[in-house]
Structures are given as structure tokens and as C-alpha cells.
Amino acid sequence: MEGTLKNNTSKQLLWIGMIGITMFFAGLTSAVIVRSADRGWESIIMPQWFWYSTFAIVLSSITLMIAKRQVKKGISPTFYIVSSLILGLLFSCFQIMGWGQLVSDGIFLTGEKSHPAGSFLYVITLAHLIHVLGGLISLLVTTIKSAQVKYTKKNYLGIELTSIYWHFLDVLWLYLFVFLLYSLK
Amino acid sequence: MSDHHKETFITKYIFSIDHKMIAKQFLITGMLMGIVGMLMSILFRLQLSSPGEPFAILEWFGVDWNPTLDANGNVIGTPIMEGVLDPNLYLSLVTMHGTILVFWVLTAGLSGTFANFLIPLQIGARDMASGFINMLSYWFFFAATVVLLVSLFVQTGPASSGWTIYPPLSAVAESIPGSGLGQDLWLISMTLFVVSSLLGGLNYIVTILNLRTKGMSMSRLPLTIWAIFITAILGVLSFPVLLSACLLLVFDRTFGTSFYLSDIIIGGEALHHTGGSPILFEHLFWFLGHPEVYIILLPALGIVSEVMSVNSRKPIFGYKAMVLALIAIAFLSFIVWGHHMFITGMDPFLGSVFTFTTLLIAIPSAVKVFNYLATLWKASIRFTPAMLFTIGFVSTFLTGGLTGLILGDSALDINVHDTYFVVGHFHIVMGLSAIYGMFAGVYHWFPKMYGRMMNKKLGYLHFWVTFICAYGVFFPMHFLGLAGLPRRYYTNSNFPMFDELTDINQLITTFAIVGGLIQFIFVFNFFYSIFKGTKATKNPWESNTLEWTTPIERMHGNWPGEIPTVHRWPYDYSKPGAEKDFIPQTEPLKEGEEEH
């Protein structure tokens, strides 16, 4: 398959895959809407750590944007890709610490003291984190390839695809965060 | 340049990345699963015709397959059935029959086969956008098949809460034996299945958008490709929602959350679950479930359009209207799921909204039926087996669609909800129509798949017996439903009010057995013809589409030289002034000739 066509098909495959992922989360969040309209819905204060993780993932998107600009100019983007990777790892750590805070606040995934609002919060954030794991693997591969100088001004499809997916995860988290903030209020 | 290269047995037949081989893998797996699903239906039909009576064929199974267990997991009662179908086994058979037919045969077997086979061949591409993803799609499907079949042999039996796996039955392992390990395996299998469908769908969409040959504009695409394209979009939008529903169910089952469960008492003991809602599952499930009906139907609609036009020797009537109707049906399928839930305590106003959106589907469906009839009108019909199944499709789509109007109306639906009326309706409109589309596709494209022809006489026998028996099975079910006979019941002989319906049930079972057995004629014809069928010519049906310009011998890359350029739409049949009654898409327009 020739270059431009390969670029187009790869990007489209990714975009359509992301539409599928969006529908998955649309299913979960619409379940929250349906359930929260019923009686017995409890409110939860969002852990402080989730605010930090939001900051980390937004920052990681910015560094990845810079990385893409660098490679377009022919400058090595490795530093910025590594920065995104570290920020992504930080995001994951903050999420896990957020769960820890939830447990200290008496909000559990399961068990007699659990309730659907808390369980939804755990499951939705966990599902997002699993998708982030895919993004981290992709960032790691991109970092290695970038360190091996495999990307050039004209050939940086790997960085483009990783960027699209990572920005998607960022936007998805922003949506989920705002949604959960209001629906669990 | 073609992509043909040296292949080993493994790369050619097993881990193949050639779309044609992958299509055959889907077809044969789908057919084998179809036989399993059909045999299951015959077993539970025996029970329904003669409840509680022994049958020699059931004795053959020997041990109690899905036994009732006590609290310690020990089998209660005799493990030998002595030819009488166990109630738990009955529920398992009904569940697995539905699961296999809906997902394995009519989704993967139909879409997986014809999308893979036809997309590159009809749009003029060497292969799919990603052969590797395509191969993965089949192997995920294969893994799903293995897991599902394994679930038949676990001690507590396969899933038995219905193909819709409604909680709380499916969410609490203690509720029935089939909600134990069998349900876990069902969920694992379905997850693998959804991954397979999504990988396939991504590939179909991207291939159709990017790899069309020169001249193959979207307005020149055969309707098969349009239908597959829209089906793939439906799949990408709806299957992930099923996955989200299943994820929450897994958490309820395995980790003790309460998304769908509340105030459950089993054996006098209250479970800890509080605050969940089983109705939530229904919303999520049917958000997939209704588009799934069209994921099943649309490819059949596409196949029927193509086969009908070829064998009528006429252009398909209203090409643009056919495409628009497909899009309209697909769009509407996302806003009608509530009609499966009219009796869940839904707000009557909301119910009327779902009634309205559901009845709207009648419009594009009627457009399609009208166009099929207009295509057949005054046509020089060639009654091939494929064409007979195509006409059979129009018949079932129409009769099944009419009862859909009754079920779509909330005021009428509540009277026949969960009765055999519903079973009759969806088997005719969805099951029969889609399977007829699939048969039409197999008979029509068999020469392209294997380079040989299927036996016509056996094809006719297959069609007529299937057609008569299928109506014989499902038409009387409407009357059973109107008489109030509930579906899913193990036995109806405990209710005197249904005693007079016994004869009808026996008649249905007789038709089911004959109709089931005749399918082996098809299976024989299929496999025999692969090796011994008459050798096919390059274009045996005198068809216009691109696949008939490829060589008879299979090759990876499809065309030995350049991919042909397309100059016209695919339905130039019996065009006034033309020498022959068909003009292939590759033939340039003559001077002064209008496209269509």
C-alpha cells in the first residue's frame, strides 16, 4: 500500500476504533444517568487526586503536541514524548491514589457498604485506565522508535497515531471527570 | 501488480490473510454452528410437542446435562434422564439456540462471510485494508466459538437465562445451574465475539472508503457493499454498548457490585445487593439488541438486491431509494429499543414515543419491498436456487414485517408480549429472512468461492422444503401467541387452558424436524460440490459486478494484472440498444450513451 493511502487508512482505523470506545463509555455514562434518576442515589465528593490526574493528562497532551511540532521541523521529539509518557504514568498513579482516598472515605467498589454510585465511579475510572494502559504502551514504543531516530520530517505516522489516541484519552477523561463530578454531586 | 505469492498450507488455509479464505472460514464455522443451533431447537421442540414424554433420541444423551444441585453442589435426583428432557437442559437449549443463531450464524456467519468475500472483489481491491486485522477477526471469532462450545460440557451446564441474559437470573450464580460457570463462559465468549466483530467492522469501513478502484464512486457501488458498509457502522456503534452492559454484569456476578441487583432473596436468605436495577440492563442490552436485528438483516437486504437484479435481468428498481432506505433503517434502529420494554413499567408517554419511532421503520421497509416487487415486475426471471431464496426473502420480510406493526404498537404489544406471537414474528422477519439471504448468497457466489457449481436440483429441493416447513413452523405460532401461550415455558401441559393447542405444537414440531433434516441436503450439496461440482465458467450468471472479472482459480490479489477500471453502475441489465442483456461495470460507456 502506498504511503499516503497507508496514512489515511491507519488514521481512519484508529478514528473508527475511537468511535467504538466512545460508544462503550456512552453506554456506561448513560447507565449512570438512568440509575441516578432513580431513588437511593448517593452523592460522592470527587477525590483530590482526580483533580491532580486531570492536570497531569492535560499537560501530557500539551507535551505530545510539542513533540509533533518538533518532528515536523526535523528536531528530535524524544524529550517531549518521554515527558508525555512520564505524565501518563503520573496520571495512572494519581488515579490509583484516588481510589485509595475513596476507600478511606468509606466508598467501596463492592461489599455490603458499597452502593451503585460508588461502584460506577470505580468501574468507569478503571475502564478508562485500561484504555490509558494501551496509550502508555503506544507512547513507550514511540519513545523507543524516536530514540532510534526512526521518525523523520516526512515519516512520523507513529507519532501522529499515538498523538491522536492520547489526545482522545485526554478528552475522554475530561468528559468523564466533568460528568462524574456533576452526576455524583 | 497482483499480491499473489507462494503460500504454505498454514498461511493458505489456517492463518490466512486472504479475504476470500477468511470469508470461507467464517462461512464454514457459521454453518457448523448453524447445525448445532438447529439440532438444539429440534430437541426442545420434541419437549414442547410431547411434554414430559421420553424420546429415544434424548436417551442417547445419557446423563443429565444440566442437573439440579443442592447447596453443596451435589446432584439432586437421578442423573439419567431416561429420554425425558430435563427442565434445566430445556432452558439451556433455548438460550444456546438463540445465542448461536443470532450471533454465530446470522451475524458472524452472514456478515463475516459476505463482507470479507465481496468487499475487495466488488469494489476492486487486492484485499482488505489490513489483512492481519482481518485474520485476527476470524481467530477471535474462532476462540469465542471454542469457549461457547466448551460451556456445553461443564457440570452445571451452559448459560440458561435466555440469549438476552437478563439479570437477576444471569447475575446470581445460585439462581439456576446455568447461571454458574456456563454464564461466565457465555460472557467470555461474547466478549471475544464483540472484539471479532469490531475488528471486522473497522476493516470493512476503511476498505470501502479507501480502496475502491478507479471509477468506483460511491454511487456505483453494488447494493451489497452499501448494505455491508452501513451494517459495519451499526456494529461499531452498538456492540461496544453491549460490552459495557456485560462489563457491569461481570462485576455484579464476580465482584459483588449491585448495578443490576437489589433485594434478592435466595433459599430464604437475603443477598447483600441493594440499589441496583435490572431494567438498567435491559436499556443497555436493547440499545445493542435492536440495531443487532438490522446488523443481521441489512447484509441479507444487500445480497437480495444484487441476486434479484442479476436474475431478473433488470436494473434494481430505485437504486438511490434503496440506499436511502438502508440509511433510514439504520438510523431508526437506534431510537426504537424501548419497544422491547413496553411492560417494564415504562412511562406511557415514553412508550408512545417508542411506538412512533418503531412504526416509522415501516416506511423505509415498505420502500424496499415495493422496489423488490417493482424489480420483479415483468422481468425475465431466471429461477435459480439463489433467486428462489431471494423471492422467499421478500415473502418473509413482508409477512414478518406486518406482525411487527402489531408488536411495535405498545397498546397491542402488551397483549401478546412474551407469547409465541413474538417468537413467530421475529423468527420470520429476522431469522428466516436473514437465513434466506444467506442461502441466496451461498448459491449465487459459490462458483466464485470454489470454482464449481452447486447442484441445482438439490437446491430446488432445499428451497421448497425449507420454505414450506419454515412457514409451517412459525406461522401457527402467531395463533398460539394470540391464544396466550407464553414462550420459554418448559411445559404447557400443566395449564388446561392450553390443552387444545397440543395438536398445533405437534404440527410445528413435525415441520421443524422435516425442515431441519432438509438442511443436511444443503450441507451435502455444499461440500460435495466443492470437490465434485460441475466446473464453473468465469461469469456463470452473466453478472455485471467486478468479482466476475477475476480468474476462476483463486489467487491472492484477485486480479493477475492491473485492477480493472469501472465505467458504469452495476445494474445495466437489458439496457435498450445494448447487444447483450448485461453490460459489465468494466465496459466503457459508448459515445452518446447515458450512464443510467
pLDDT of residue B69: 62
Nearest CA to CA, how far is A110 from chain B (Å)? Answer: 5
Residues from chain A contacting residue B257 (CB–CB below 8 Å): 109-110, 114, 116, 119, 123
Q: Which of B211, B272, B280 has its CB closest to that of A31?
A: B280
Q: Which residues, at least 6 apart from B497, have a Cβ–Cβ distance to it below 8 Å?
A: B484
Residue type, B383: F
With H, G, I as helix, E, B as strand and everything else as coil, classify residue A53: helix
Each residue's pLDDT tens digit, A18-29: 999 999 999 999
Contact at CB, A120 and B259, closer than 8 angstroms: yes
Instruction: List residues bridging with B486 in a β-sheet.
Output: B419
Q: Which residues, at least 6 apart from B403, have a Cβ–Cβ distance to it below 8 Å?
A: B421, B424, B425, B428, B429, B478
Contact at CB, A115 and B201, closer than 8 angstroms: no
On the 0-12 / 13-18 / 19+ scale of CB atoms within 10 A, B284 is buried
For the residues A92-104, what does the mean pLDDT come to?
Answer: 97
pTM, two decimal places: 0.94
Contact at CB, A16 and B276, closer than 8 angstroms: no
What values do phi and psi take at B29, rounded to 5? -60, -45
Nearest CA to CA, how far is B193 from chain A (Å)? Answer: 15
What values do phi and psi take at B446, rounded to 5? -55, -45
Residues from chain B contacting residue A21 (CB–CB below 8 Å): 240
pLDDT of residue A141: 97
Query: How would residue A170 be classed by pLDDT, with cut points 50, 70 and 90?
Result: very high
The DSSP call for residue B572 is -
Residues from chain B contacting residue A115 (CB–CB below 8 Å): 258, 274-275
For the residues A92-117, what does the mean pLDDT come to?
Answer: 94
Q: Does A12 touch chain B (CB under 8 A)?
A: yes
Q: Does A111 touch chain B (CB under 8 A)?
A: yes
How many structural domains comprise chain A?
1
Residues from chain A contacting residue B283 (CB–CB below 8 Å): 30-31, 34
pLDDT of residue B3: 57
Nearest CA to CA, how far is B419 from chain A (Å)? Answer: 28
pLDDT of residue B75: 59
- DSSP per-residue letters across B493-538: TT-GGGGGGHHHHHHHHHHHHHHHHHHHHHHHHHHHHHHHSPBP-S
The Cα A134–Cα A128 span in angstroms is 10
Q: What CATH number is associated with residue A165?
A: 1.20.120.80
Candidates B530, B239, B299; CA nearest to B435 is: B299
Say how many CB pairs under 8 Å bridge A and B.
107
The Cα A63–Cα A89 span in angstroms is 14
Return residues 131-160 of B near A (CB < 8 Å): 133
The Cα B133–Cα A158 span in angstroms is 18
Q: Does A140 touch chain B (CB under 8 A)?
A: no
pLDDT of residue B1: 45
Query: How would residue A112 be classed by pLDDT, with cut points 50, 70 and 90?
Result: confident
Q: Does B2 touch chain A (CB under 8 A)?
A: no
Residues from chain B contacting residue A34 (CB–CB below 8 Å): 277, 279-280, 283
Q: Which of B236, B256, B274 has its CB closest to that of A20?
A: B236
Instruction: List residues bridging with A14 in a β-sheet.
Output: none
Instruction: Using DSSP bridges, classify how beta strands B265-266 and B269-270 pair: parallel, antiparallel or unpaired.
Output: antiparallel
Residues from chain B contacting residue A30 (CB–CB below 8 Å): 283-284, 287
Residues from chain A contacting residue B344 (CB–CB below 8 Å): none
Q: Does A116 touch chain B (CB under 8 A)?
A: yes
Contact at CB, A119 and B258, closer than 8 angstroms: yes
Residues from chain A contacting residue B259 (CB–CB below 8 Å): 31, 35, 116, 119-120
pLDDT of residue A5: 77
Domains, chain B, with CATH or none? 18-549 (1.20.210.10)
Contact at CB, B257 and A110, closer than 8 angstroms: yes
Measured between CA atoms, the residue of chain A closest to residue B252 is A110
Per-residue pLDDT of chain B (596 residues; tens, 9 = 90+): 455 567 788 888 888 999 999 999 999 999 999 999 999 999 999 989 988 788 877 776 655 555 566 666 665 544 445 678 888 889 999 999 999 999 999 999 999 999 999 999 999 999 999 999 999 999 999 999 999 999 999 988 899 999 999 999 999 988 888 999 999 999 999 999 999 999 999 999 999 999 999 999 999 999 999 999 999 999 999 999 999 999 999 999 999 999 999 888 888 888 888 888 999 999 999 988 899 999 999 999 999 999 999 999 999 999 999 999 999 999 999 999 999 999 998 999 999 999 999 999 999 999 999 999 999 999 999 999 999 999 999 999 999 999 999 999 999 999 999 999 999 999 999 999 999 999 999 999 999 999 999 999 999 999 999 999 999 999 999 999 999 999 999 887 778 888 888 899 999 999 999 999 999 999 999 999 999 999 999 999 999 999 999 999 888 899 998 999 999 999 999 999 888 999 999 999 988 888 87
Buried b (16+ CB within 10 A) or exposed e, B172-211: bbebbbbbbbbbbbbbbbbbbbbbbbbbbbbbbbbbbbbb
Q: Does B206 touch chain A (CB under 8 A)?
A: yes
Measured between CA atoms, the residue of chain A closest to residue B256 is A110
Return residues 24-63 of A near B (CB < 8 Å): 24-28, 30-31, 34-35, 38, 40
H/E stretch holding B269 reads strand B269-270
On the 0-12 / 13-18 / 19+ scale of CB atoms within 10 A, B72 is exposed
Nearest CA to CA, how far is B223 from chain A (Å)? Answer: 22
Contact at CB, B240 and A27, closer than 8 angstroms: yes
pLDDT of residue B9: 82
What values do phi and psi take at B63, rounded to 5? -80, 160
For the residues A60-81, what does the mean pLDDT come to?
Answer: 96
The Cα B33–Cα B296 span in angstroms is 16
Q: Which residues, at least 6 apart from B503, have a Cβ–Cβ distance to it below 8 Å?
A: none
Q: Which residues, at least 6 apart from B191, have a Cβ–Cβ distance to it below 8 Å?
A: B243, B246
Q: Does B130 touch chain A (CB under 8 A)?
A: yes
Q: Give the number of other CB atoms < 10 A from CB of residue B43.
A: 17
Grid look-up 429440534 returns B42
Backbone torsion region of residue B16, taken as left when φ is above 0, otherwise alpha when ψ lies between -120 and 50, otherwise beta: beta
The Cα A67–Cα A78 span in angstroms is 7
The Cα A13–Cα B129 span in angstroms is 9
Helices (H) and strands (E) counted in chain A, each on its own, are 5, 0
Cα angle, residue B553 at apex, residues B552 and B559 outer, rounded to 5°: 80
Contact at CB, A40 and B238, closer than 8 angstroms: no
What is the domain range of residue A92?
A: 3-183
Q: Which of B130, B245, B272 has its CB closest to that of A27?
A: B245
